[in-house]
Amino acid sequence: MNLDTLLHQFDCNNGLSEIINAICKSSVEIEQLVNRVFLDKTVLISKCIQNSSGDEQHKMDILSNEIMISNLTNSNSCSVLISEENEDAIIVDESHSGNYIVYFDPLDGSSNIDCNCGVGTIFSIILDNDKYKTIENRVLTNGNNIICAGYILYGGSTDMVIAFKGKGVHRLSFDRNTTEYVHTGILDITNKNKKVYSINESNFERWDIDMKHYIRQYRKQESKYTQRWIGSMVSDIHRTLLYGGMFCYPSDENNIHGKLRILYECFPMAFIMEEAGGKAIIAKMSNDR
């Protein structure tokens, strides 16, 4: 089954399938950049400026962001685009405007790209219900309004994982011969039982007492857990979905609000995890993050 058949099966209409196709098209273009990263190294991984989240931007981040914005705008299905790489929400011009707000991180994990580890594009989509309200009153305040979320992992192969509300999580793999995404499985974490915990344990001394206590349970010999940490969220979540286990990124003394961004990283991954039968929890939440 290819992507079009899947979208048809799920009655993705009113522009939703156009958005997903725009994200797929973007992923194919970003994939080509990722593949060339060492050949055009000086250009693609040159450091540029800090983005709105305070991270250093690579040229790759900027190009991936431009690709996403251009394809999503041309889908004629989005009213607002909210990117990790842009300070402000992008209001799509009336002539191209549609019914949905799309959130995305065009290239998560790009700080790892120099060592050829898997990086990814993360997205989530909500219906833009009331265009007469100001943008501040329309954006996502929790993950419950998400109708579709997913990621594309640019790894050994390029995989798209996509979740629709109430319809589970689907994995599609990019076939470079036919240049199509092909359905390669349904991801259900409930029957995956590898004992893996995934966390950047080098932050241990900076966690609060409860967090230290929680992780010590995994460390105990009798727990039989092993630890894995790629340091690229899309790769770490992908492994967790496929094998089971847990992933977390707690706040610490240096990152008092946590490192991961709630809109671009946490909400979409939590949505996917829950659709796959898993749990997503937030222990503490600051109002300003």
Give me the active site residues, please: 55, 61, 84-85, 105, 107-108, 265
Q: Does 114 bind ligand AHM (CB under 6 A)?
A: no
| CB-nearer residue toward Mg ion: 54 or 156 | 54
Reduce the secondary structure of the chain to three states and give it as a string. Answer: CEHHHHHHHCCCCCCHHHHHHHHHHHHHHHHHHHHCCCCCHHHHCCEEEECCCCCEEEHHHHHHHHHHHHHHHHCCCEEEEEECCCCCCEECCHHHEEEEEEEEEEEECHHHHHHCCCEEEEEEEEECCCCCCCHHHCCCCCHHHCCEEEEEEECCCEEEEEEECCCCEEEEEEECCCCEEEEEEEECHHHCCCCEEECCHHHHHHCCHHHHHHHHHHHCHHHCCEECCCCCHHHHHHHHHHHCCEECCCCCCCCCCCCCCHHHHHHHHHHHHHHCCCCCCCCCCCCCC
The dihedral through the CA atoms of 193, 196, 199, 205 has a sign that is positive
Q: Which of residues 256-285 bind ligand AHM (CB under 6 A)?
A: 259
Residue 110: contacted member of ligand AHM, Mg ion, none (CB under 5 to 8 Å, by partner type): ligand AHM
Site string for ligand AHM, 183-222 (x = CB under 6 A): -----------------x----------------------
* Strands 47-50 and 56-58, sheet pairing: antiparallel
Which position among 36, 219, 231, 285 is part of the footprint of ligand AHM (CB under 6 A)? 231
Q: Does 79 bind ligand AHM (CB under 6 A)?
A: no
Shortest distance, position 112 Cβ to ligand AHM, whole Å: 7
Which position among 18, 61, 85, 105 is part of the footprint of Mg ion (CB under 5 A)? 105
- Check: CB of residue 170 under 8 Å from CB of residue 179: no
**Binding segment for ligand AHM among 74-82, 141-149, 161-169, 228-236 (CB under 6 A)?**
228-236
| CB-nearer residue toward ligand AHM: 185 or 231 | 231
| CB-nearer residue toward Mg ion: 105 or 236 | 105
Residue 231: contacted member of ligand AHM, Mg ion, none (CB under 5 to 8 Å, by partner type): ligand AHM
**Binding segment for Mg ion among 2-10, 102-110, 164-172, 280-288 (CB under 5 A)?**
102-110
Q: Does 110 bind ligand AHM (CB under 6 A)?
A: yes
Neighbours of 9 (CB within 10 A): 12
Residue 3: HSE in the Cβ half-sphere, 13 Å Cα cutoff: 24
Residue 75: contacted member of Mg ion, ligand AHM, none (CB under 5 to 8 Å, by partner type): none
The residue type at 246:
M
Which position among 18, 85, 108, 252 is part of the footprint of ligand AHM (CB under 6 A)? 108
Which position among 108, 128, 252, 275 is part of the footprint of Mg ion (CB under 5 A)? 108
**Binding segment for Mg ion among 22-30, 36-44, 64-72, 106-114 (CB under 5 A)?**
106-114
Residue 61: contacted member of ligand AHM, Mg ion, none (CB under 5 to 8 Å, by partner type): none
List contacts with ligand AHM (CB under 6 A): 55, 105, 108-111, 200, 231-233, 249, 259
List contacts with Mg ion (CB under 5 A): 105, 108
